[in-house]
Copies of this chain bind each other. A is one copy, B any other.
Amino acid sequence: MITVALAKGALLRESIECFAAAGFDFRSFLEKENRQLMIPSVCGRARALLLRNADVPVYVAYGQAQIGIVGYDVLRETRSPVAQLVDLQFGECYMHIAVKASSHYKKTSDLPAHCRIASKFTHCAEEYFNRLDKPIELIALTGSVELGPITGISEAIVDLVATGRTLRDNGLVSIEKLFRSTARLIGHPLSLRLDNGELQETIDRIATISSEIEK
């Protein structure tokens, strides 16, 4: 029995489509009245866990789920010891540094040393500014990071941007794009090594479907 870790939210529909292509039907997670967090596939050969984004790599790293789908942003932030198997290309977004539109900071190098950066992605932000050798004060927030520059708690934010609407609605502009994020199929390294073929078959099917969609 394969256990699959799926992320709630923006990636869920397409993640379920990927597994449908591999023969596993988890569509009941999409029903509005669904309250279940663990469901078997219709075929009975797999089950899926419905998790918050950041918990997907935890379940896969511990081998409680053998495979899962999660955004590259989460993998980069959590630095989880999981195998990245396929770039599924959907769920595209970018990690940005943004400031108030009225700010005189036009590029990252304009930001003063020891400036305050608010983010849900503190490891990503720290890594970036360390590489620039610019000391910053990180403010870890868990949501609505766009309030940072508006309230004045931080000069800038490091946050994930999909359509750019949240930035615009809050009078913020990007001054730097850090990296691109897309959904990734990930696996538990030990389960992959001990696999008798079943896991690899699922991975291959998802990889094939994914590359066909790309064309």
Contacts and interface: CB of A to CB of B under 8 A. Distances in A.
Interface stretch (A47-55, A125-133, A174-182): A47-55
Closest 6 CB pairs of A and B: A52-B143, A64-B153, A54-B142, A52-B142, A64-B151, A55-B141
Contacts of A53: 142
A150 interface: yes
Q: Chain A interface residue count: which class?
A: 20 to 34
16 contacts: A37-B144, A37-B147, A38-B147, A38-B151, A49-B147, A49-B151, A50-B144, A51-B143, A52-B141, A52-B142, A54-B142, A58-B141, A58-B153, A59-B153, A62-B153, A64-B153
Contacts of A150: 38
By secondary structure, the A interface counts as: mixed
